[in-house]
Each structure stands twice: as C-alpha cells, then as structure tokens.
Structure 1
Amino acid sequence: MTTIEAITGPTRPVPDEIARRIVLPEGHRDETALFAAYKWLRENNPLAQVHVEGYDPLWLVTKHADILEIERQPELFCNGGGSDPGTHNPILTNQAGDAFTKSLTGGSLRILDALPYLDPPEHTAVKDVASDWFRPANLKRWEDRIRALATEAIARRLRPGGNELDLVKDFAIFYPLHVVMTLFGVPEEDEPRMMALTQEFFGTADPDEVRADVEPLSPEAAAKQWAAAIADFFAYFDVLVEDRRANPREDLASIIANARQADGEYWPKQFAYSWFVTIATAGHDTTTSTLAGTLEALAHHPDQLAAVQQDLTLIGDLINEGLRWCSPVKHFMRQATEDYELRGRHIKAGDRLMLLYQSGNRDTDVFDAPDEFRITRKPNRHMAFGYGPHMCTGQHLAKQELRIMFEELLPRIRSIEITGERKVTQTNFVGGLKSLPVRLELA
C-alpha cells in the first residue's frame, strides 16, 4: 500500500450543501458555486467520504495527485467490478437508477460493453479493436477532409460581418458531430437523429433533455432515459454493423464491425454497438463543450484572442488551456479492490471513489492561479482526458478537430461579445455550455 501525502492537522466535516453540490446533477447548474465547492474540499477535506441521500457512500477525490495515483492502478481501483464484472457502475447513478439498470440486465450494472465499463484484460482487448485508427499517424490522412468540414461549417453557419447567434446551439454543436459521423461513415441525413440521441444520452438529469417516454420526476428517471437512448442507438447501429460486414468500406464503422477476437470470430454485436455509442456521444459532445467554452473564454480575454491571431502556433497552447478550463468530463467512478491507504485515509475494499477531474484541473499544487484562463500556461498538466490505461482513446482526434477549426476560424474573428445569459447542461457526468448568446463579428 502507498501513501501519497498524509493529511496534516484535523480535517473539517463536509457540509451537506457541499456534498450535494458535487454529487447531485442539479448542483452543477451553477458553476461558480460548484467550483467554490471543489475549492473548499481541496483546502479543507481533499479526500472526503460523504453520504448523500439516495446514493451509496462515496469518496470525493479532489486533488490532482490523488486522481493520478488512482488512475495509474486499474488493478487496485476498478471500473466495472474487476474480477466480478458488472458489479460496479463507473458512472455515478443513484440507488434507484442502479436498481432499474439491474432489472433490465438480470442483475448487472454493465449496460454497455464499452471501455468505461471494462477492466483489464478485457479492457485492453476491446480497446485494441480501434486504438490504431486513433493514433496521430493515422489521423494525419484525415487532415484535409476535416479541414474541409471546418470551412464548410463556418460558411454554412456564419457570414461576414455581424452574427447574432447562440454560440452552442447555432454553431459549435454541429461541427464535431459532423466530423465524427463523416469519419464513422454515418450518412449526413442521419445526423439529426444522432444529435438528438446524444443530447438525451448525456442530458439524463437535465429537464430540458427529458424524453417524452420518461417520467421526469421519478428517482430512476435518469437511468430510464440512459437505457432508452442506448436501446435506440443499438437499433440504429445494428443496421450499420450488418451493412459493414456485408459491404466493408474505408471508414471507422467497418473497422469496428469487422473486428475479430483471438479465436477468429467476430466480436459480439454488443461490443460493436458500444464502440459506436461511445464514439457517437463522447466523440462529439466533449469536443463541442471545449470548442464553445474556449471561444467563451476568448470573448472575455480579447488580448489572448489577439495573441493567437498574431501567432497561430499558439493554438496548441490554447487548446490545452481550453481543455483544462472546460474539463467536459466531470467524473468517473472507481471501486477499491482491496484496502488502500491514500492521503492518510483508510479506503476499504469495495469503497467507491468519485474522481473529480474538474477539481484536479484547478488544483493550486499543480496550476498557478488556476481560476485564470491563460494560454501561456506551461507546463499544462491537465487531466481533461483522464490518465493511465483509461485515458481517452479519441484525444488526438479531438485535438485535431479543435486545432483545425481554430486555424480556420480565429483569423477571421474581429470580435466576440457575449450578449445573453450562459446556460450549462445539468449533469454531474459529461457536459458544459448548452447555450451562450453572442455577437460574433467576422472579416
């Protein structure tokens, strides 16, 4: 067992409002209060075990070093239950939601055969299905195609002169989806369906995204919407799998659909579906949040916008700071597989831990003045993509998309003015800005 840094002196009990602010999806609507709650924990009780009504007890992991310590040891802190797959949910859900999921699956919490639900060695084998496709060397061949999609998005959504628009709903949300679906091989006419399902998938706790077939106020409403969205995705992707096995093409869907296991047999369709769901959701929603959030930050810092416009080689630094600043993946859950000592606290086997990446990305032990947006921040050891073996497979594609869009868009911007109230998605999992009225002046 390892100890990172023993807590010196007494820690303060966590006020209920702090615990609820972080654990409950509705606590994330007010980002000012949310980040204040993270800061309070880092300063007063950085590794705190809390009990919020309706949820299993859990540890709130707020420090950058502690998150890294946990992430680099998947054998000690599992995703889906370790040697007993399906007994742990890597996404925080209330007790009613977990019970509903078990009622659908015959007792398992593994509703998707996707990477976030898997542990080694299964995680490694499934990840290898498409990991080569996401390597930078392979992605270079898509550079021109993605650039064409970026210029098309600007031409379609914006015009020279003044543009009064919602930066998220009218612009940022479309480009990442179009890129992912194009590389995937999904027809453009099906993108509205993918968009709607993605919003339902990540907006399970947001009143604005509740499906008509889900009772919004029931305790298990979020889990019901999650399951319903997954079922709709599966129905669509079943047709895609059958088509690509019969008629393979030069696209990512063909690689996944035709992947085979060590015995030469196809992976079960559920694994292909789950790959598709992961790419179709996380592959565009996180990039949308980072694109919109970074442009919002530049609106507040016109000097930094001007600096990037004068030297486009700063775009890489801008992207890293945008990722740290936005941190669209707010958490993943881990479960201790054995007793462990961390920061002077005794974590017991079976305990659940909520890794708070947004908090880690504002840790003063790692980042100077973390509540300031600085494109000159170096080094920038952000954890927006996670860390260790569970680090985001699509991180290089996300950075490529952002870089190309900024290269095409930023030189044309004369000014960005925020003209209305910002709104964020009500979620404790993945999300960011969902509405930001702006006036965007383009050359």
Structure 2
Amino acid sequence: MADTAALATPPQTKKDPSRQMSRTASETCNLIVDPTVYSEPKLLDATFARLRAEDPLAWCEPEAFRPFWAVTKHADIMDISRQNQLFTNGEREMLSYAEAEKGVYAKFGQPHLLKTLVQLDDPLHYKLRHLTQEWFMPQNVKKREDAIKSIAKQYVDRMEDLGGECDFQRDVALYYPLRVIMQILGVPESDEPMMLKLTQEIFGAQDQDLMRDKSLAEERDVEKGLASIQATLAEFFMYFTSITADRRANPKDDVSTVIANGMVDGEPIGQLEAMSYYIIVAAAGHDTTSASTGGGVLAMLQDPSQLKKMLDDPKTMSRSAVEEAIRWTTPVKHFMRTAQDDYELRGKKILKGESLLLCYPSGNRDEEVFDEPFKFKVDRSPNRIISFGYGGHMCLGMHLARLEMQAIYEELFSRVKTIELAGEPSFIRANFVGGPKSIPVRYKF
C-alpha cells in the first residue's frame, strides 16, 4: 500500500509550454485512443494513414488521457523499441485513463496492477524472461508440433461436424489456441471455459459483450472499471496460487512448474511476479493468436483471389499466409514507452519523462515498407511485420504462435472444398488487444 502522498499520483508527463498539437493531431488523436475505432478497421487504417502522411510523430493530448507522442512509422517504432534503456516500459505500458492511473497509484503505490514481462525493465525483465525462454525457443516449440497438429485436426473435425455453417471465430479460432496454451501451462481441459472467460475480461474490458461488469458499457465509471479488473485478477490469483502449491509439491513437465519453482537472484520468485507470469502466458498466449488466426481467414474470404491461392497449395502458402495474417490483424495495437532522456526524432525533441505510443497497426501499413499495404497477400515477401515488437521486449511466444497458425491453416485449407462468408463479421471494441469477434461462414468439406 502507498504510504506517502508522493505515491498517490502517477508521474506527470513533462510539457513544453510552447508545444502545440498540429491540426492533424487535434483531429485524429481522440480517434486512436477510442476503442470503437478499433472495431472499424477501415476507419482505423484511414486515421493512421493520415498521421503517417501529415504528422508521423504527432504530439497528442486526447481527452481523459495523459499526453503522449503517437509513433506511426515502422522505422521509428523499430528505433524506439531497440533502445530499451532509453525508452522504458515501467512507468506506462499501455493507454489508460488518467483517472484510472491515479486510482492505481493511490491504492497500490505503483503504476501497474501486475508485474508481467511487458511492464518490467531490465534487469528484472531479463531475469524473469529467462525463466521460461527455453520453453518457447524454436527447437522446443518444434517438439510440440505433432501435439499441436493433433489439436488443429480436432478443431477442423469439430467444424466439419457442425454441418456446413459455423462462426469461425467463436467456434474454432477462439478455442484452438486456448487448448494449445493451456496444455503448455498444464491447465486441465475442464478449466478452459473459466480461463477463456477471465482472459476475455482482461483484453475485452472495453467491449460490451466481453466486459465483466456490463454496466460499464453505458458509462465510464473509472472506479467501477478498476474494481472489475481487480475482481478478474483476484480469480486468476486464486486459481494459480493453487497451481503453484501443486507444482511445488508435484513438479510436472509444464510451464506452470517452471514458474512455481522459479528462482531470481537465489530467491524464489515473488508472489505478484509469479501470478503475473501465469496471467500473461495464459492471456497473451491465447487472445493474440486467436485474433490473428481468425483475421487471416476473414481476409482471405474477403478476397477470392487470395483464398484460391491458399486452397490451391495450402502447404506451401500457409507459412507466408501466417505472416500476412499477423501483419494484417496486428492483435496487439500498441505498447507505450517513457523517455529516460531527451531525444530527437524527425526533427522534434522528445523530452525526458514523456510517453510514446508505439502504434503497431500503423507500422504494419507503412507505405515505405510494404508494397500495397492495404491488400492482404497470402504470398507476401518480404514481410517485415512489427506485430511481435522489436528489441528486448520482442514477443516470447512468437514461434509458438506461428506454428499454431500454420497447423490450423494447413489442416483447414487442405480439407475444405469451399468456404465463404455467411454474414457480416464484427470486431472487438478494444484499443489494446483485439481482432475479429464474429466470422460467420458457410463451407463444404
């Protein structure tokens, strides 16, 4: 608990009184923080395209948020991401209402409710990442290929059993990566519905269909919103506290055992760090892959020429199609960094203490990097995606995500004879992590 007044409020972003938002920024910065805009992909693309063209490093002061720089160019996102000591995560890792930030500080005396890899900086970030890194290295992920392919087959079988129509996102893409990551964690299949509910409440906290407290869809009540997230985290904590006790008494060949028995600097991993670790593996290991898997299928269904390429040669095309699906969907919409010293970029001076919003969907549509960036190409090459981040915080599970998606794409498109949209798709309302919410399809095997 905070015991000094100094901890009751977050650090204030240092302002240059002479700084003015550009006209472009003033007309677009409220859009790039709005969860609703992320449920309308064409509007989001147009908003970021305007920023890239007119004000690629834009000073933003959106209503209800602390100010930040919107970093929208691929090269600039890479530049900032590689400098982990100069641009840090610990102070502010994602967009959050200024009132909510104050509430967390007032109650906990720190900027975050959790201490996951995405909220930490070195040296602790490196030490915690190192605990499980071996599990997610390519050679070890490869050992799970047969098991993953078996799960992919189960879910395509389920799709076939549904008789020619289903909601691909809700019936397949949502559950398939959940089963994979829960096997790796060592969570029994019977507990998966609960895990799905809790992970959706975290990443879907802004979506009226997914949020825990439905009354928050009608009004922005910061205190109730914070209480809702805390209730979800409390359920996670209770569940994984039990898992920790079990794995310390009965170690198994799973990631939960690694976390439960993890040591940092000769001491057992702290309770908050351990709980945070379980949660980030469970949640991020599911929602992001689910979004990309469905997002790629939807893009192919919306462009018959690309769908035909995949159906004609699924084994060859699946690898490049996976990369393109991850670029196209960009499930993680942003992370934030805080400058530890003054820095000049694009002729503008970023001041020590200022925040930077790394806009990954914008970087993945950068016209200077991607040919025809607004077209989904199953055979795109090269494909310099930035969806997994860059530098010291590059996604730990990226090799697993690629293998999962490749397995389900090969299985689906080698078996299905025809597949088409059977209704309007919809998207999750979320400005942090999101993708398709519903993809109704009609098909024949």
Which of 15, 27, 40 is residue 30 of structure 1 equivalent to?
40
Matched, 1:182 2:192: no
Which of 410, 417, 421 is residue 418 of structure 1 equivalent to?
421
Matched, 1:71 2:81: yes
Q: Normalised by the size of structure 2, how large is the TM-score? A: 0.92
2:324 corresponding residue in structure 1: 321
Q: Do the aligned residues in 1 keep the contact of 2:87 with 2:338 (CA within 8 Å)?
A: yes
1:251 corresponding residue in structure 2: 254
2:206 corresponding residue in structure 1: 205
Deviation readout 1:328-354 (Å, 9 max, x if unpaired): 110001010110001111000011111
Cα distance in 2 for residues equivalent to 1:123 and 1:423 = 36
Cα distance in 1 for residues equivalent to 2:22 and 2:190 = 55
Q: Do the aligned residues in 1 keep the contact of 2:25 with 2:51 (CA within 8 Å)?
A: no
Matched, 1:60 2:60: no
Cα distance in 2 for residues equivalent to 1:215 and 1:364 = 38
Matched, 1:228 2:231: yes
TM-fit CA distance, 1:163: 1.9
2:336 corresponding residue in structure 1: 333
Cα distance in 2 for residues equivalent to 1:39 and 1:213 = 33
Q: Do the aligned residues in 2 keep the contact of 1:214 with 1:224 (CA within 8 Å)?
A: no
1:404 corresponding residue in structure 2: 407
1:108 corresponding residue in structure 2: 110
Q: Do the aligned residues in 2 keep the contact of 1:96 with 1:219 (CA within 8 Å)?
A: no
Structure 2 SS opposite 1:307: helix
2:58 corresponding residue in structure 1: 48
Cα distance in 2 for residues equivalent to 1:432 and 1:303 = 23
Structure 2 SS opposite 1:355: strand
TM-fit CA distance, 1:12: 5.0
Deviation readout 1:11-48 (Å, 9 max, x if unpaired): 95225441111012223222211110000000000000
Q: How many residues align?
A: 423
Cα distance in 2 for residues equivalent to 1:230 and 1:157 = 32
Judged with a 3 Å threshold, the aligned counterparts in structure 2 of structure 1 residues 342 and 15 are, in CA distance, closer, same or farther, namely closer
1:76-95 residue pairs with structure 2 within 5 A?
76-80=86-90, 88-95=91-98
Unpaired runs of 5+ residues, structure 2, are 1-20
Q: Do the aligned residues in 2 keep the contact of 1:59 with 1:353 (CA within 8 Å)?
A: yes
Structure 2 SS opposite 1:338: coil
Q: Do the aligned residues in 1 keep the contact of 2:51 with 2:72 (CA within 8 Å)?
A: yes
Cα distance in 1 for residues equivalent to 2:239 and 2:215 = 20
2:147 corresponding residue in structure 1: 145
Q: Do the aligned residues in 2 keep the contact of 1:93 with 1:223 (CA within 8 Å)?
A: no
1:284 corresponding residue in structure 2: 286
Structure 2 SS opposite 1:439: strand
Judged with a 3 Å threshold, the aligned counterparts in structure 2 of structure 1 residues 276 and 305 are, in CA distance, closer, same or farther, namely same
Judged with a 3 Å threshold, the aligned counterparts in structure 2 of structure 1 residues 49 and 273 are, in CA distance, closer, same or farther, namely same
Cα distance in 1 for residues equivalent to 2:107 and 2:101 = 10
Q: Do the aligned residues in 2 keep the contact of 1:204 with 1:223 (CA within 8 Å)?
A: no
Cα distance in 1 for residues equivalent to 2:308 and 2:220 = 49
Q: Do the aligned residues in 1 keep the contact of 2:213 with 2:228 (CA within 8 Å)?
A: no
Cα distance in 2 for residues equivalent to 1:374 and 1:12 = 34
TM-fit CA distance, 1:379: 1.0
Code of the residue aligned with 2:209 in structure 1: it is D
Code of the residue aligned with 1:169 in structure 2: it is R
1:121-200 residue pairs with structure 2 within 5 A?
121-159=123-161, 163-200=164-201
Matched, 1:13 2:13: no
Matched, 1:369 2:372: yes
1:3 corresponding residue in structure 2: none
Cα distance in 1 for residues equivalent to 2:358 and 2:241 = 33
Task: After superposing the two structures, state which structure 1 stretch, 250-259 or 414-423, moved more.
Answer: 414-423
Q: Do the aligned residues in 2 keep the contact of 1:418 with 1:438 (CA within 8 Å)?
A: yes
TM-fit CA distance, 1:266: 1.4
Code of the residue aligned with 1:32 in structure 2: it is K
Deviation readout 1:196-247 (Å, 9 max, x if unpaired): 0011000111122222487542341544333322221111110001100110
Q: Do the aligned residues in 2 keep the contact of 1:201 with 1:225 (CA within 8 Å)?
A: no
Cα distance in 2 for residues equivalent to 1:355 and 1:174 = 29
Structure 2 SS opposite 1:363: coil
Q: Do the aligned residues in 2 keep the contact of 1:173 with 1:288 (CA within 8 Å)?
A: yes
Judged with a 3 Å threshold, the aligned counterparts in structure 2 of structure 1 residues 214 and 237 are, in CA distance, closer, same or farther, namely farther
